[in-house]
Amino acid sequence: MKVDSILFPTNLVKRMDNIRFILVVIFAMLLYMLWQAWQIDYGPKPTLAESEQPGISSKEDLPTTSGTQTIQNTDANVSVAEPNAPNQSSAVIIVKTDVLSLEIDTQGGTIRNLDLLKYPKEKENTVVQGLRKMVGLEPSEKDLTPIRLFDGSKEKLFLAQSGLIAASGSTRAADHHSVFQYEKSNYVMQKDQDVLVVPLTWSETPGLKVTKTFLFKRGSYQITLQQDVDNTTDKVWSGRQYNQLLRVPYSDQSGNNFIRTYAGGVVYTEENKYKKISYDDMADENLNIKTTGGWVAMIQHYFASAWIPPVDKENNFYTKALDNNHYVIGSYSPLVTIAPHTQAEFTANLFAGPKIQPMMEKIAKGLELTVDYSWLTVIGKPIYWLLNQIHDFVDNWGLAIIGVTLCIKLLFFKLSQASYQSMAKMRKIQPRLKELQERFADDRQRFNKEMMDMYKREKVNPLGGCLPIMVQIPVFISLYWVLVETVEIRQAPFALWVQDLSAQDPFYILPILMGITMKIQQSLNPAPIDPLQAKIMKMFPIVFTVFFLFFPAGLVLYWVVNNTLSIVQQWYITKGIDAAK
């Protein structure tokens, strides 16, 4: 077989004619996906009738374990309007550290209304506010309150629950419906204090005392839970510890609707590693797996909450779909037997905070995977590492993005060079191809033959400009997800008017620059021979500029820098080819 027949197969022309059409189809699909996202956020939502919204039975939100009492209340029909809603005898304990502010409900020792003090919901832009003041406008209102992770409100319900379940034959212990006694109602970490201890006690069952203790450390988003069981009876007591997260489906009303990330349940085991458990999965089937170590979590954009049981003990992970659109994911421990007049301790750790990968790696194995790059994790993690290294040097996340873009361009320099050389050669013969098209307008088969002959004479591979780009696509997509998922970039300033790389450019300067660079790049590439395709391609810079108006400034900054470097590289290569010709 001749080399020419390998480089220029007979159906190559057809592939070339279709490649831009495929791009147009992909573009249309993106538009449809964006429309679907808009419908999810703003479209009509089905509502349940009042009769279809029953309360949650107190036994339903407890884990179902083999050989244990799934309901410990004397009245199995007891129900509450809202899970863990405070009753008349419960109280709320306020806890504040240097990074967290939260409430502990004495009914069950449930954590709710947890605020991340270092992460406000919005950020003021001093340049925008200054300009508004100059033109006589009132400053725009920004919500500077902290991000609330756990939430006790009905609409955004999200709770961290824990408790004990007695085995059959043992007296009942304190679950998350039991009311605990407390020493004081307010705890504040002082400047000279590194650990804050919040104890709760329960002794409603004669001869059985449960002490639930929360430990908070300075600068940490990890909360240690200890449940000490003191059996002063003459009988053996057996039971398990459970820890669970209960929430309604998360909806980010303040986020960018063009950037959609996974929000839902996650489990990590040594056997199956990181696995998403969506709300639909929970509704379809209850999870029930046994593993040593691991963790369960509910994640959302930038933030995560996870219960982490002891790594050296076997635990069961479970999920439940309750009424009123409530979902539970949790774990329970092996059965523990406590001899008469002895004690036992159950422990677990709760993480509730930002998804900062170096920090999460130290807390639990695999916890950093909640920063979800999907199947591109193997590429995304090195890119994140490089982004961090550059930031440590320049101390500016915008400059770090520019640095990573430059490194990726250098990594693919040779591939890009081959692509641009092929495009430059294609551009040189474009007028002659146009002439052939006009000459053989009524004879498509003859036109294809003459075009292939020209490619052979000029030693041009029409696919040479596409293949090198295809190789780079996974890296570009990985970088996109790194920039979207990295919480360190959230509200991070760059320069001048760009004071939040995770928010859209307030003056749309970067998106306009992106459109200009895209148009310049397009002018350096060979135009499609087909007039209709040429018109469609000319619209791409305008359409993408409109889309990028709403994208985070950090992503647009990457595209502006990448396009600019590509223009310089392509112009240099094209100039060299022209000079050689």
pTM: 0.79
**What pLDDT band is residue 522 in, cutting at 50, 70 and 90?**
confident
**What pLDDT band is residue 544 in, cutting at 50, 70 and 90?**
confident
362-405 pLDDT, tens digit each: 999 999 999 988 778 888 899 999 999 999 999 999 999 999 99
Say how far apart CA 469 and CA 448 lie, in whole Å.
Answer: 25
Q: What integer is the mean pLDDT of 194-200?
A: 94
Say how far apart CA 145 and CA 113 lie, in whole Å.
Answer: 13
Burial class (CB in 10 A: 0-12, 13-18, 19+), 204: middle
| Positive or negative: CA dihedral 178, 181, 185, 187 | negative
Share of the chain above pLDDT 90, in %: 40
467-512 pLDDT, tens digit each: 556 666 788 788 888 888 999 999 999 988 999 898 888 889 999 9
Does the pLDDT at position 453 exceed 80? no
Structural domain spans, the chain? 3-40+379-580, 50-371
138-176 pLDDT, tens digit each: 877 888 899 999 999 988 999 999 999 998 888 889 999
Q: What integer is the mean pLDDT of 38-47?
A: 41
**What pLDDT band is residue 215 in, cutting at 50, 70 and 90?**
very high
Buried b (16+ CB within 10 A) or exposed e, 493-509: bbeebbbbbbbbbbebe
Buried b (16+ CB within 10 A) or exposed e, 371-408: bbbeebbebbbebbebbbebbeeeebbbbbbbbbbeeb
CATH placement of domain 50-371? 2.70.98.90
pLDDT at 503: 86
Least confident of 59-73, 353-367, 547-561: 59-73
Does the pLDDT at position 531 exceed 90? no
pLDDT at 37: 46
292-340 pLDDT, tens digit each: 989 999 999 999 999 999 988 889 999 999 888 899 999 999 999 999 9
Half-sphere exposure for 100 (CA within 13 Å, toward CB): 28
Least confident of 160-164, 177-181, 225-229, 533-537: 533-537
